[in-house]
Chains A and B, each alone.
Chain A
């Protein structure tokens, strides 16, 4: 056999084998993807449901929160140009509360993502941090796992009279700051306050 022909043959064989491997890998990945996709979607829903129930007690509503939603693009109030989800809780068809995604853009280390639960009468049902990059040991006390500071919002309202009390103590408000970390709690209090302000202004349309 001529050397060029042999070379060509070796190359073709190599290319064929390599393609075979890629095809097998891709087929396998597609099969596994098909199999895990519903499980991942289910795990996502469960996780989201658990998260929402932390800021809106399950006893307060009887509808499916995950299906009664609305999206808002309100960068001034919710801190982000992305659409934010609002989950609407109803009891016997009557408005019971809202769970709103919001962002504190001015954390010590970037965005702090929050969810805020608000009852129909304007009381805070709960606030939780969904994700953040604050300094471990200082700013991360906004996580419930580290500290119960975040529970301090529960039951509070934002009214015209107390608006200036919605700040950390250093800013003459009523919320504690952390030793060595004022920026983080200030950002969270500010974001919750803006969210409540928005809810107060738009209560009826939010339930539409």
Chain B
């Protein structure tokens, strides 16, 4: 490989990473996968658990879709993608049930529901089916991180305001050693219930989106047009 082609590959990776984390963040820009996002983020650990599970599904589906992209005729590609995603989700559901029993109980229906997370089919269709394996892996990684980070931030925010704690129940994910990880705000803090209840999810996500748009505006150099946002074809 020549030096310039290596440079080009790196630039591609950087571009994919930047899109996944920021410009085309699935939760803040594409607004995909909001149902689980809003439902489980009443604390940071739940958010992290669902985020990691989603990332694992995304990684599996992107890898497989990219590998088979040349020999699946386009008429049946969507059912094939769905079969792959459904299988990946079911496998991860069973593994979590076996190894993270309590957390699996809390996340409940939202693990099987990852199948219906549009973000995953959208990445399979709009990225992995058109790009090489290495790029699809990078894409799954950063799209997954971008989604997980939003879940964790939203979860932490709601937990902090609505419960006065942070990383409560971290042992569900990290084992017994994590039992002491819970951080408490001062003892006389009165929790704002609204943050834990469903409206808190909408308000919190709205604030995060607003914050991101504000940051984009601040970052934008004067005289430069808006950064084009990749439009999702699927919903």
Contacts and interface: CB of A to CB of B under 8 A. Distances in A.
B102 interface: yes
Contact of B76 (A14, A29, A47): A14
Interface stretch (A35-43, A54-62, A64-72, A168-176): A35-43
Interface in B58-102: 71-73, 75-76, 79-80, 83-84, 86-87, 90-91, 94-95, 97-99, 101-102
Given A29-B90, A32-B91, A136-B197, A39 B73 contact: no
B143 interface: no
A121 interface: no
Contact of B95 (A10, A36, A136): A36
Contact of B101 (A10, A18, A29, A43): A43
Nearest to B191: A137
By DSSP majority rule, is chain B's interface helix, strand, loop, or mixed?
helix
A40 B76 CA distance: 35
Contacts of B75: 10, 14
B76 A25 contact: no
Interface string A1-35: 00000000010011101100110010011001100
A44 interface: yes
A198 to B, nearest CB: 28
A163 interface: no
A137 B91 contact: no
Contacts of A137: 162-163, 191, 193, 196
B98 A43 contact: yes
A132 B31 CA distance: 31
B80 to A, nearest CB: 5
Contact of A18 (B79, B98, B196): B79
A30 to B, nearest CB: 11
A138 B84 contact: no
Contact of A17 (B42, B73, B87, B102): B73
A101 B191 CA distance: 32
A138 B193 contact: yes
Contacts of A22: 83
A3 B56 CA distance: 44
Which of B71, B79, B83 neighbours the largest number of chain A CB atoms within 10 Å of its CB?
B83
A28 B72 contact: no
B84 A21 contact: yes
B95 A32 contact: yes
Given A10-B73, A28-B91, A44 B83 contact: no
Contacts of A136: 42, 162, 193, 196-197
Contacts of B72: 17
Contacts of A32: 90-91, 94-95
Contacts of A47: 101-102
B74 to A, nearest CB: 10
A22 B81 CA distance: 11
A48 to B, nearest CB: 11
Given A14-B73, A17-B71, 5 more contacts: A14-B75, A21-B83, A25-B84, A25-B86, A43-B97
19 contacts: A15-B76, A17-B72, A17-B73, A18-B76, A18-B79, A21-B80, A22-B83, A29-B90, A32-B94, A36-B94, A36-B97, A40-B97, A43-B98, A44-B101, A135-B193, A136-B42, A136-B196, A137-B196, A138-B193
Report the 6 A-B pairs with minimum CB-CB distance, sorted nearest first.
Answer: A39-B98, A25-B87, A43-B101, A36-B98, A137-B193, A36-B94
